[in-house]
Amino acid sequence: MSSGVVQEKVASALLGALNGAKKKGQLKTETWPQVSLDAPKRPEWGDLASTVAMSLAASEQRAPHDIAQIIIDNLTQREQLFDRVEIVKPGFLNLTVKPAVWHEVLREIEMQGSAYGRAEMGQRHRVLVEYVSANPTGPLHVGHGRGAAVGQAVANMLKAIGYDVVSEYYINDAGRQMKLLGTSVYARYEELSNRPVEFPSEGYHGAYITALAERVKQQLGSELTGRAATEVEERCRTFAYQELLSLIREDLKSFGIEFESWFSEASLANSGAVQRVLDELKSKHFLFEQEGAWWFRSSAFGDEKDRVVQKQDGEYTYLASDIAYHQDKLRRGYDLLIDIWGADHHGYIPRMQAVVQAYGYPKDHLQVVLVQMVSLLRGGEKVEMSKRAGEFITMREVIDEVGADAAKFFFLMRDSDSHLDFDLELAKQRSSDNPVYYVQYAHARIASLWRVAVARGIVCPLPSETDLKVLTDPDELGLIRKLSAYPSVLQGSARAYEPHRMTYYLQQVAGLLHTFYNKHRILPPAADRDLLAVMPEGLVSGEGLQKEGLAPERTAARLALMSGVQQVLKNGLGVLGISAPEQM
RNA sequence: GCGCCCGUAGCUCAGUCGGAUAGAGCAUCAGCCUUCUAAGCUGAGGGUCGCUGGUUCGAUUCCAGCCGGGCGCACCA
């Protein structure tokens, strides 16, 4: 578990102490519990705190405090690693790590660069992440946008910790919805030629349907005149389908999302895969016939009841192609399948996991990440949407209005399984109230330092060529500690499929950066001499400058720190698919 | 009725494996630019962690019941 250079060092020192104590007969526990190390809430509790003594209390049958003392007594590296080691109340072990040890974080970041935070825990296991997968019956709406952002982030995070990830879009290009699309466009098409036909009762009402009909007329009109209605309808359907699918691709592309794989539902039926899979399940007795329909015995795998896969009229249900689709994924040999669904499909999870189990895999071979609804607000007022009437805000409109970066950040700010209020006005604001700008601005501010430094001819040595020992200020060390947590934040987010932990963390890093930037100087002031001459004795900021001295070594060390902050912001934003601008 | 999710500051929400005096942003109020980007910063107030029990050294976290909200319970997709 690589959770940062310092954490690793400290953890192994504690483990060493435990083993040392055991050798001496001071401790007797067979296997040590996880040596926990977290950042305590209060500064006086040190840099890192461990609860290991408390969790050993039961198996050692002694007071946590005594165990903690034993650990301390056996800490061979105490002098090298710690400034302070304390035992507090129930048995917390509070550790204050030497600045020089913290400084290694900056070396590590420099060395790893864009790879800082990455890990190999995925061991190149193959993962398929399926997301968006919207019916090509209309443009993508806001909800799809959130699904897209979450899917991309989950895929990227897993890549970053060593999985081989393929992202896939499942095109629902078969079945009733496609038929309805066809008849809807056909109805509008006939209307345009003053031959009104009955509009399908559950058809699609959006204005884009009429627009599609107009384009059918324009491009295919002469060819279609005099043709049979069924043929015209068929052409309307394929035309609309192709147009909408390419629209979806374009929208995703301008959202910065590209899929490695597009999988057609229709191809499953056409290739006979659906029937083949049903036959397989029949032979395994997971299918049975009742009242003229075929049922999947999903209740055998924890679903609350069995499900129809082939109706009385011989047609397959949606579930049938979904079974075939997931069987296809399994057949492709992935070690893990992740589906990202709208939360209204949650009732579907047990039956899909039943499918996975019917094929002999454990049910958690399929992980489903649910994405809850997005409520759009504008200046605090709810934007009303009605999908039925075809009035919904499209993903495209949101991207055009607030930009892809802001949209993604907002989509990822909350746990995907909880409702999201997305205020369009806020997302556009260029102020610290807007978390996207807040984070991006932190990055741009640092980028600006390099430009100014270059312009003034200030040398910017690499952290590895810089003496970092002047970095002892609590603000400096606080920033470094936060940077050291990045690998474990990334790994935690990835393993829980929870990108919102990343946005949260990035806001914290940006906050520390802005505070630091405001409080401390990094480069010497432009008009250093004039300033000091003009400034009256005792002026607060002047005093600060003189006190800190801003000797070249300090500037160099702080630049090294800034470089680390910038790298972490860039890496974190990158994983989320959000840009890290050099200038704003 | 059954199943899943949720209930933390006025609002929107974090809180990982059960840990110390409960965290952030917004809003409110009071301040901070002769400077490297004020697209920023500092400070203050604000809480029975829905309720009641249980598990234990310790519960916002785990368990049970209840209350309140959302979603799902098709031979639809």
Structure ipTM: 0.93
**pLDDT given for residue A28 in this prediction:** 86
Q: Name the closest residue (CA) to the C1' of nucleotide B70.
A: A419
pLDDT at A369 exceeding the cut of 90: yes
* Stretch A375-379: mean pLDDT: 83
pLDDT at A536 exceeding the cut of 60: no
| Angle between helices A552-575 and A99-112 in degrees, nearest 10 | 50
Task: Determine the distance between A514 (CA) and B42 (C1') in angstroms.
Answer: 12
To 5 degrees, how large is the angle CA A523–CA A525–CA A530?
155
Beta strands in A133-201 (DSSP E): 164-171
CB within 7 A of strand B (chain A, 195-224): none
pLDDT at A528 exceeding the cut of 70: no
**pLDDT given for residue A186 in this prediction:** 93
**pLDDT given for residue A445 in this prediction:** 95
Q: Which pLDDT band, with edges at 50, 70 and 90, does A550 fall under?
A: confident
User: What are the pLDDT digits (tens) for A254-268?
Assistant: 999 999 999 999 999
Determine which of A58-67, A151-160, A249-258, A355-364 has the lowest per-residue pLDDT on average: A58-67
Protein CB footprint (7 Å) on chain B nucleotides = 2-6, 12-17, 19-27, 34-42, 57, 71-77
CB within 7 A of strand B (chain A, 364-403): none
The nt closest to A319 (CA vs C1′) is B77
Residue A230, Cα to own-chain centre: how many angstroms?
A: 46
Percentage of chain A beyond pLDDT 70 is 94
Mean pLDDT of chain A: 89
**pLDDT given for residue A532 in this prediction:** 40
The span from the CA of A456 to the CA of A525, in Å, is: 11
CB A53 within 8 A of CB A91: yes
Q: HSE, CB side, 13 Å, CA atoms: give it for residue A318.
A: 12
Start-end of H helices in A61-125: 64-73, 78-81, 99-112
* Lookup: tokens for A9: 């060092």
Identify the H or E element spanning A246. Answer: helix A229-254
Q: Pairing between strand A381-382 and A374-378?
A: antiparallel
How is residue A45 annotated by DSSP? G
pLDDT at A529 exceeding the cut of 70: no
**pLDDT given for residue A391 in this prediction:** 60
* Stretch A444-462: mean pLDDT: 90
**A59 CB and strand B closer than 7 A:** no
pLDDT at A56 exceeding the cut of 60: yes
CB A155 within 8 A of CB A128: no
Lookup result for tokens 């500064």: A43
Q: Which pLDDT band, with edges at 50, 70 and 90, does A385 fall under?
A: low
Q: pLDDT: is A378 or A334 the higher one? A: A334
* Stretch A487-502: mean pLDDT: 92
The nt closest to A3 (CA vs C1′) is B16
**Size of chain A in residues:** 584
Task: Determine the distance between A560 (CA) and B33 (C1') in angstroms.
Answer: 26
Residue A557, Cα to own-chain centre: how many angstroms?
A: 32
CB within 7 A of strand B (chain A, 80-109): 88-90, 92, 94
**A499 CB and strand B closer than 7 A:** no
pLDDT at A386 exceeding the cut of 70: no
**pLDDT given for residue A72 in this prediction:** 94
Task: Determine the distance between A420 (CA) and B68 (C1') in angstroms.
Answer: 20
pLDDT at A549 exceeding the cut of 60: no
